[in-house]
Amino acid sequence: MMQSQQYNSAANANPTQRYMIGVDVGGTKIEAVLLDDAAQVLAIARVPARRGADLVVEDIATLARTVGADHWDDVAQVGIGIPGQVDWKTGQVGHVVNLDIVELDLADQVSAQLGGIPVHVENDVNAAAVGAAAVLHEDEEAIAFLNLGTGLAVGLINNGRIMHGASGSAGEIGHIPIDPNRFECPCGQRGCLETVCSGSAVAQLWPTDDGRPPMPDLIARARAGEPAAQRVLAKVKHALGDAVQIVAQAVDPNTIIVGGGMARTGQPLLDAMSEELSARAANCAFLESLQLPARLKLAPADEPTGAIGAALAARV
Amino acid sequence: MMQSQQYNSAANANPTQRYMIGVDVGGTKIEAVLLDDAAQVLAIARVPARRGADLVVEDIATLARTVGADHWDDVAQVGIGIPGQVDWKTGQVGHVVNLDIVELDLADQVSAQLGGIPVHVENDVNAAAVGAAAVLHEDEEAIAFLNLGTGLAVGLINNGRIMHGASGSAGEIGHIPIDPNRFECPCGQRGCLETVCSGSAVAQLWPTDDGRPPMPDLIARARAGEPAAQRVLAKVKHALGDAVQIVAQAVDPNTIIVGGGMARTGQPLLDAMSEELSARAANCAFLESLQLPARLKLAPADEPTGAIGAALAARV
């Protein structure tokens, strides 16, 4: 009875507020979308990222007004996905190194620029997890989004809700120090998984002199028989295997969505990961029973999943 | 409205059915408790475990009748915790190696022996997690129970509910193959965490000739300066550190309860784990910020947590 009263009263107060805006803040670009209540993208806009707290707030607000222009009075909320330390309960962010932000009341400042509209801020990997799951129509109980970007991190969704963890660090597997190469990590540890298993790590391990993305080149040359490429790829595949086993055996998600910049490699990346996991399972009935290759799925490459997820994360 | 009708109707049908029985099936003993609806232990009984499906079913049923004798008509349910592969949805178990059980419809068979009472079956580590959290009055959002027993596994509780995962394998971190000693594991992999980080592993790495538990002896001798003990303890501490970092950074629980046979070592084990985690965090601000030593808590050693948890897991 209580529940339905609350529902009616909310519906009466805002009978048509059903649009959502999502903004994905990255190190190089900021992208915004307007969604209807079926999560369809009605408008999209992006600008190159500018550094510094004031410019970031200004760019987010401008993009939100741009995509929301035709329906402004019916926009219920704005969701933002951003890297760095994010307190999703307060909307405060810290240490967004790529954008020269030390500390910022992001939700409050953007809300103030937009006439007081509710603003929700989420970690960018969590937002990407929500967006990728929505675009792929994944609605299983447990979903992991393995982000192979500048760093390595996982976004976890359980029963439709982001798992933040006690300190907001759920899914921060990139700094588990178990890689056998024992490379030094800028975090201060040695052997962090992301020193081998991330886009920036592969760019260091396999530099391409013409600016092409390194992972497709590395896989192609290893397949063509180049010993140096095979050695480097073996390291990367090993770290990818460790990352997937950690996620699968700690959390056991139905689906592991592979995303981030490195996932633009596409099917050859998924094939390399499946090979590694199948080889590991060859002698282990337990691992074989987990059927990990069948759980892998590529994130959609051509959709604004980060911005879509930022909008939806504000709702869930 | 619907909810309160259901509540009333259930209350009318079984106005006094409020006792719960929990049975913890181990490799050496079976223990049962009767709980009231405030989860207080009213009766307890245990017998040495006998092998084979028929005897296990018989012993569980007999113990349940023993602890429930004074209140049998008011017992609402029986919960069982058991090692091996457990399908908590159907109550079927498989591959309980220590008890010579290959496959067994455990819930159905025990229920049939007990006049049709509802029976719920749970993985023993998950049941222990629920029991330890209840006894310690841990009611935080996310709790992990690190079971250092014959093997290594974690029970995860999120918002009061056991996280089973897609294939019932959530928390099976013992077979993540990342230990640098690369010991062969009976599972077929090399370097599984539980080849170093488990009670049986420590018994192999540090055999005591008089049957004393090895971990307290290992710690005492390492503290006394014995080089061989220091070398072995360093390996075990390293694997414990990896296990805690995997749990903390994948799932980020508020509390990590340290249980299983090895936890009977008590405070010296917790001190060794805290030392390892503090040393790892010394150069890493991120790891320091997670404050892992402060999240560790010993499981209660003198309470029947497995049986209590088995009873409560049937309810949650």
The pLDDT tens digits for B5-25 are: 333 333 344 455 689 999 999
Q: Is the pLDDT of residue B169 over 70?
A: yes
Contacts of A173 in chain B (CB under 8 A): 246, 249-250
Residues of chain A with C-beta less than 8 angstroms from the C-beta of B168: 252
The verdict on a CB contact (< 8 Å) between B250 and A245 is no
Q: Minimal Cα–Cα distance from B111 to chain A, Å?
A: 29
pLDDT, residue B9, reads 34
Partner-chain contact A175 B248, CB within 8 Å: no
CB contact under 8 A, B168 and A142: no
| Cβ-Cβ contacts under 8 Å, A146 against chain B | none
Token pair belonging to B194: 């539980």
Distance from CA of A242 to the nearest CA of B (A): 7
CATH code, residues B130-298: 3.30.420.40
Q: Which of B159, B197, B249, B291 should we substitute to test contact with A (largest number of A Cβ atoms within 10 Å)?
A: B249
Chain A residues with CB under 8 Å of B290 CB are: 167, 169
Q: What is the pLDDT of residue A139?
A: 84
| Distance, CA of B210 to chain centre | 27
Residues of B in contact with A289 (CB under 8 A): 167
As annotated, the residues of chain A forming the CATH 3.30.420.40 domain(s) are: 2-123, 137-298
* Predicted pLDDT at B1: 28
- pLDDT number for residue B8: 32
Complex ipTM, two decimals? 0.91
CB contact under 8 A, A283 and B188: yes
State the best of A252, A255, A296, A297 to mutate against chain B, taking most chain B CBs within 10 Å. Answer: A252
Pick the residue from chain A with its C-alpha nearest to B292.
Answer: A167
Min Cα distance B41 → chain A (Å) is 31
* A31/chain B closest Cα distance in angstroms: 28
Q: What is the mean pLDDT of chain B?
A: 93
Q: How far is A45 from chain B (nearest CA, A)?
A: 34
A151 vs B4, higher pLDDT: A151
- The string of DSSP codes covering B191-242 is S-GGGTSSHHHHHHHS--TT---HHHHHHHHHHTT-HHHHHHHHHHHHHHHH
Backbone phi and psi for residue A45, each to the nearest 5 degrees, phi listed first: -155, 150
Task: Answer whether B178 sits within 8 Å of A242, measured CB to CB.
Answer: yes
Compute CA distances B178 → A76, A181, B69, whole Å. Answer: 47, 12, 49
Would you tell me which residues 147-206 of chain A have a C-beta closer than 8 angstroms to some C-beta of chain B? 154, 158, 163-173, 175-178, 180, 187-189
Neighbours of B180 (CB within 10 A): 15
d(CA B43, nearest CA chain A) in Å: 35
Q: A25 and A124 in contact (C-beta within 8 Å)?
A: yes
- State whether residue A242 sits within 8 Å of chain B by CB: yes
Percent of chain B clearing pLDDT 90 (strictly above): 87
* From B173, B285, B291, residue closest to A250, measured CB to CB: B173
Question: Which residues in chain A are closer than 8 Å to B170, comparing Cβ atoms?
Answer: 250-252
pLDDT of A5: 31
CATH number of B2-117: 3.30.420.40
Q: What is the pLDDT of residue A145?
A: 98
**Coil, helix or strand for B288?**
helix
- B280/A contact by beta carbon, under 8 A: yes
User: Once rounded to an integer, what is the mean pLDDT over residues B245-258?
Assistant: 98
Under-50 pLDDT residues of chain A: 1-14
Quick check: B250 and A246 CB within 8 A?
yes
Higher pLDDT, A6 or B205: B205
The DSSP element (H or E) to which B43 belongs, if any, is strand B41-48
Write out the residue limits of the CATH 3.30.420.40 domain(s) in chain B.
Answer: 2-117, 130-298
Query: Which CATH superfamily does the domain covering A2-123 fall into?
Result: ATPase, nucleotide binding domain (3.30.420.40)
For chain B, how far is it from start to end, CA to CA, in angstroms?
A: 22
Average pLDDT over residues B45-66: 97
**Per the CB < 8 Å rule, is B188 touching A254?**
no
Mean pLDDT of B256-270: 97
Do A287 and B175 count as a contact with CB atoms less than 8 A apart? yes
* pLDDT value of residue A17: 61
pLDDT above 60: residue B2: no
Element (DSSP H or E) covering residue B248: helix B227-250
In this prediction, residue B98 has a pLDDT band, given cuts at 50, 70 and 90, of: confident
| Residues shown for chain A | 316
Contact list, B285 vs chain A (CB under 8 Å): 187-188
Contact A290 B169 (CB under 8 A): yes
> How far is B283 from B293, CA to CA, in rounded Å?
15
Residue B138: pLDDT over 90? no
How many interchain CB pairs under 8 A, A with B?
143
Q: Name the closest residue on chain A to residue B84, using Cα atoms.
A: A286
More confident residue, B197 or A2: B197
Chain B residues inside the 8 Å CB shell of A171: 249-250, 252
Mean pLDDT of all residues in B290-294:
98
Rounded to a whole number, what is the distance in Å from the CA of B62 to chain A's nearest CA? 33
Across B211-224, average pLDDT? 95
Show Cβ contacts of residue A106 under 8 Å, excluding neighbours closer than 6 positions. A56, A57, A80, A82, A91, A92, A93, A119, A121
Angle at B246 between CA B245 and CA B249, to 5 degrees: 75
pLDDT at A13: 43
Q: Does domain A137-298 have CATH number 3.40.190.80?
A: no
Are residues B246 and A245, on separate chains, in Cβ contact within 8 Å? Answer: no
The arithmetic mean of pLDDT across residues B121-130, rounded, is: 97
Please give the DSSP secondary-structure letter assigned to residue A54: H
pLDDT value for B209: 85
